[in-house]
Amino acid sequence: MNIPVDQSQCPLCQQNNLCGVNGAAACWCVSSDIKRELLAQVPQELSGKSCICQQCVDKFNAVEIVNKS
C-alpha cells in the first residue's frame, strides 16, 4: 500500500520545503550542496520523493562546520 507523499513537505522536519524545481526559474535546491550524510537521514519510505528544506540543509552544514573545527 502506497501512502501519498506531500512533495512540498520536507521529509526531515515536515515543514514546507519551498522547492521550486518545477517552477519557471531554477530552484535554490538545484545549486545547493546537499551532503550524502544528510540524505541518509531521510526515512527510506520518503527518499527521493520530496526535497529537504533549505533550513534543514543549512542546519546540517552549520553543525558539520562546528564539528570539523
Break the chain into its structural domains and give their ranges.
Answer: 9-69
pLDDT band at 1 (very low <50, low <70, confident <90, very high): low
The per-residue pLDDT for 20 is 80
- Give the pLDDT band (50/70/90) at residue 29: confident
Supply the mean pLDDT for the chain: 85
Q: Looking at residue 23, what is its pLDDT? A: 76
Query: Whole-angstrom Cα distance, residue 9 to residue 16?
Result: 5
What is the reported pTM?
Answer: 0.80
CA of 69: how far to CAs of 4, 25, 51, 64, in Å?
41, 36, 28, 9
On the question of pLDDT at 55 being above 90, the answer is yes
